[in-house]
Structure 1
Amino acid sequence: MTNTTFSVDKIALRRFLLSKQALLGLEQSPVPDPLHMVKKLECVQLDPVSVVERNQHLVLAARIPGYDPKQLDDLLEEGKVFEYFANAACVIPIEDFPMFKPTRERIQRKVAESLEQLGLVVDAVIEQLKSEGPLPSRAFQSEKRVHGYWDNKTPKTKETSLALNLLLDSGVIRVVRRDRTERYFDITERTVGADLLKKTKAMDETTARALLIEKYLRAYRVFDPRDARFGWQKLTAAERREEVEKRVASGSVTPLEIDGVKRQYYMLTKDLDELGTFVQDVRNRDSVNLDDALTFLPPLDNLLWSRDRIKDLFDFDYKWEIYTPRMKRKYGPYAMPILWGDRLIGRMDPQIDRKNGVLIVRLLQLEPWVEKTTGLQIKLREALEKFAVFNCAADVRIENSDVKMKL
């Protein structure tokens, strides 16, 4: 083990990162199942936006040939994964449940007053779940409207829906099933295995926090302590630096010196040997196999969690513009980066016309340096057709593109 700085070319580093993200060529033998992939990635981010299929399914579809969204829904119903806050709201392997104990306790303290204000409504929701669960939100009747998470000035949220959200965030209840867009809730303590509950109760805060930081480091692989989400805990900048410096001193984390990159990154020391194989490939001028399928990455893909890292390693500026005012958008509300080999070569902004079964490509634009070869045009066409099929569309319509191709 060494805690000295490791010098590396950013081409080798991004290939290593893509490999860890299961994006440097698809895992073909055997074809990975969704549970294997969630464990490999540590977690997959959830998002309700449905311009096309939802983020969690797009993440898995980009990595697993023939992936079906029902597969992830089945894992949730079978109790092999759970939903909670990691990088944000995420799907997480169920065996990691105990290490999120401090997160649940922190949120419980935060929402205690709001739950108390709801009073008997909360008690009624819990009793109904105990007697009838699992239940969707629509199963709870409430005439009164209150300010919910997404309301502005006018109260629009049912009292029972707010109670469900607060209980969900605090970990008292959890999502145990999804029927596509509809979530079903149940009491956490009776839906998590006895062994896991025992481990959770025995888990002390120091151990849980350390395990959660290690999980974060494995998920990111190439990390920067300036990330406000570092360790998926509420850490100050000084605490984040201290956690990294402590691991550098112990030899478990190594500082990186990346050619052409000013920002200081780190990685797990145990990954250096694997990184070394990519360093050697670059020295031998080995190129990535561009026969691999071209891939569209959703805005909240694990690879894209750090926009600074994408800029530094891939020379690619990316911003999710869904919350950007329409007139200020440059690429579109759901523009998806296009990955080919070890480069991000452009963006594709899709929308599904579900009524007519059409994938509408509002924009398909490549970076200025990309050579628009016939081979690339074929890859783009194949990728668009595959993306359309995954999104249950029978046709593709391109509205604006700087690439000429026949569909």
Structure 2
Amino acid sequence: MINYKVTRNIVCNYILWWQGLVGEKKYIGKDGVLQYIRHIGCIQYDPVDICGKNADIVLQSRVVEYSKNMLEELLYEQKQLIDCYDKNLSIIPSSNWKYFQYAKKNFKEYYKNMKNTELIINDINEKIKRKKYVCSKDIESEYKTDWGWGDTKISRVVLELMHREGELVVHHKIGNIKYYAYAKDYLSNETFDSQNAFFSREEYLEWRVYMRIVAVGALWNRGSDAWIGIDMNANERDNAIYNLLQNNKIVEIHLSDEKFPLYIPEEAEATFVQIVNGNKNVAARMEFIAPLDSILWDRKLIEMLFDFNYKWEIYTPSLKRQYGPYILPILYNDGFIGRIELIHNKEEKSLFIKNIWMEKDVEIDSRIKENYCDCISRFMKFNKCTQINGLTNLA
């Protein structure tokens, strides 16, 4: 096994290449959406829509001529993708659904042991058998329970737990309302059958750790938000990474002035070597990056590599925010040069540029201005805007 010792800049260039965020876009249209999600394994879903939902912004930054209906069609018509609890609620290839059996099996006993759930479960089952799918509004319940962000109708909680357990899947959404159906009726037999996906918990954790490395492009063996959703402790993570290295599933990378090594997928090694040797020339490009984009999952790693400190401040009290509730990092070529606050007014079909903050020492030249105008134009088209307001020009 080769012992790679490289600079931060090389790792940055590699991650951007792996993420499809550098040079000419290689993912095109709806086929490109499916190709990218199969490549990366998972994109995080969030219902907040200020200038586009997180998953849509992720895809807009990578896929030529992306439109929001493409994701809906792949999820609920073609069933090539599926909503699944991976990095919180995420979108994954349907073929990967069966691999989450160890994450699913703990939830059934949890919701069946909750108070006041027996009648609700019976009501859910009766309505799905009659209507094929159901949402929380269809289930009558006077009870509430503490669920993450406060008191929530217990019917909604039970539906979400039945989804996490794998008995239900999201059949479709209307706005942010999820409609659930039986997984056995919705999925193909091959996808639904998860009996022999893994032989042990250790094998399952190795796969989960490997897929997180794939989703980011490179990770280190440290506590990180990048591991959210994987029920494991530090020792289990150590063992998973050790076994992945022993089985040549991942490659270890060392930085000259960083004590923690990084790990990349084995299939990325050949291109990584090309980047090390300087054989990857790319065209200039600018993108606005979604707040929950997988490239940002490990904020400490991003700060170490790119010297860019980012925090999603949507849940930060307004008086304590440094920037704003929904700020998109601005990626240009091989680094982050700033952040932007965009607001989509659906009634007026307008895109409002509320604020722009450039990083210190960034010199705004004609190429940056040209790429910025192109990026804004694509973002307007993505949100079907006919006009633009606010800070339309870079200083």
Same fold (TM over 0.5): yes
Q: Unmatched 5+ residue regions in structure 1?
A: none
- The answer to whether structure 1 residue 133 and structure 2 residue 132 are counterparts is yes
Please list the CA deviations of residues 324-345 of structure 1 after superposition, one character each: whole Å capped at 9, or x if unmatched. Answer: 1111111211110111111111
SS in 2 for 1:120: helix
User: For residues 151 and 331 of structure 1, what CA distance do their matches in structure 2 show?
Assistant: 23
Please list the CA deviations of residues 171-214 of structure 1 after superposition, one character each: whole Å capped at 9, or x if unmatched. Answer: 2211022334332210112111112233x123345244443333
User: For residues 139 and 89 of structure 2, what CA distance do their matches in structure 1 show?
Assistant: 26
SS in 2 for 1:117: coil
Distance 1:60-1:300 versus aligned 2 partners, 3 A rule: same
User: For residues 179 and 208 of structure 2, what CA distance do their matches in structure 1 show?
Assistant: 27
Distance 1:26-1:105 versus aligned 2 partners, 3 A rule: farther
Deviation at 1:399, TM superposition (A): 5.2
Deviation at 1:296, TM superposition (A): 0.2
Q: Which residue of 1 aligns with 2:35?
A: 36
Please list the CA deviations of residues 359-395 of structure 1 after superposition, one character each: whole Å capped at 9, or x if unmatched. Answer: 2222111111211112212221221232122122222
Are the counterparts in 2 of residues 350 and 359 from structure 1 also a CA contact under 8 Å? Answer: yes
Q: Superposed, which structure 2 residues align to 1:326-345 within 5 Å?
A: 326-345=318-337
User: For residues 141 and 382 of structure 2, what CA distance do their matches in structure 1 show?
Assistant: 40
Q: Which residue of 1 aligns with 2:354?
A: 362
Distance 1:369-1:137 versus aligned 2 partners, 3 A rule: same
Q: Superposed, which structure 2 residues align to 1:295-334 within 5 Å?
A: 295-334=287-326
Distance 1:328-1:287 versus aligned 2 partners, 3 A rule: farther
User: For residues 348 and 297 of structure 1, what CA distance do their matches in structure 2 show?
Assistant: 10
User: For residues 374 and 217 of structure 2, what CA distance do their matches in structure 1 show?
Assistant: 31
SS in 2 for 1:324: coil
User: For residues 378 and 388 of structure 1, what CA distance do their matches in structure 2 show?
Assistant: 16
User: For residues 20 and 106 of structure 1, what CA distance do their matches in structure 2 show?
Assistant: 34
Count of equivalent residues = 390
Identity %: 21
Q: Indicate which of 211, 221, 227 corresponds to 1:225.
A: 221
* TM-score of the two chains, using structure 1 as the length reference: 0.88
User: For residues 349 and 369 of structure 2, what CA distance do their matches in structure 1 show?
Assistant: 23
Please list the CA deviations of residues 35-82 of structure 1 after superposition, one character each: whole Å capped at 9, or x if unmatched. Answer: 111101111110011112110111111111111111111111122111
Are the counterparts in 1 of residues 296 and 302 from structure 2 also a CA contact under 8 Å? Answer: yes
User: For residues 41 and 274 of structure 1, what CA distance do their matches in structure 2 show?
Assistant: 16
Q: Superposed, which structure 2 residues align to 1:206-245 within 5 Å?
A: 206=200, 207-228=203-224, 229-230=226-227, 232-245=229-242
Q: Indicate which of 20, 23, 38 corresponds to 1:22.
A: 20
Q: Indicate which of 187, 198, 205 corresponds to 1:192.
A: 187
User: For residues 249 and 151 of structure 1, what CA distance do their matches in structure 2 show?
Assistant: 42
Please list the CA deviations of residues 114-163 of structure 1 after superposition, one character each: whole Å capped at 9, or x if unmatched. Answer: 2x63111111112211221223333x1425141352553xx5x4443233
Are the counterparts in 1 of residues 128 and 182 from structure 2 also a CA contact under 8 Å? Answer: yes
Q: Which residue of 1 aligns with 2:118?
A: 119
Q: Residue type matched to 1:239 in 2?
A: E
Superposition CA RMSD, Å? 2.4
Q: Which residue of 2 aligns with 1:381?
A: 373
Please list the CA deviations of residues 74-104 of structure 1 after superposition, one character each: whole Å capped at 9, or x if unmatched. Answer: 1111221111111221111011111101010
Distance 1:25-1:237 versus aligned 2 partners, 3 A rule: same
Are the counterparts in 2 of residues 142 and 158 from structure 1 also a CA contact under 8 Å? Answer: no
Distance 1:251-1:181 versus aligned 2 partners, 3 A rule: closer
SS in 1 for 2:96: helix
Are the counterparts in 2 of residues 214 and 231 from structure 1 also a CA contact under 8 Å? Answer: no
Distance 1:211-1:375 versus aligned 2 partners, 3 A rule: closer
Q: Indicate which of 235, 253, 260 corresponds to 1:256.
A: 253
Deviation at 1:25, TM superposition (A): 2.2
SS in 1 for 2:374: helix
256-265 vs 68-77, greater mean Cα deviation: 256-265
User: For residues 87 and 260 of structure 2, what CA distance do their matches in structure 1 show?
Assistant: 21
User: For residues 314 and 359 of structure 2, what CA distance do their matches in structure 1 show?
Assistant: 21
Are the counterparts in 1 of residues 4 and 253 from structure 2 also a CA contact under 8 Å? Answer: yes
Are the counterparts in 2 of residues 81 and 93 from structure 1 also a CA contact under 8 Å? Answer: yes
User: For residues 240 and 255 of structure 2, what CA distance do their matches in structure 1 show?
Assistant: 21
254-263 vs 319-328, greater mean Cα deviation: 254-263
- The answer to whether structure 1 residue 289 and structure 2 residue 259 are counterparts is no
Deviation at 1:273, TM superposition (A): 2.3
User: Which aligned runs of 4 or more in structure 1 are off by greater than 6 angstroms?
Assistant: none
Q: Residue type matched to 2:101 in 1?
A: K
- The answer to whether structure 1 residue 163 and structure 2 residue 158 are counterparts is yes
Q: Which residue of 2 aligns with 1:60?
A: 59
- The answer to whether structure 1 residue 268 and structure 2 residue 284 are counterparts is no
User: For residues 50 and 231 of structure 1, what CA distance do their matches in structure 2 show?
Assistant: 23
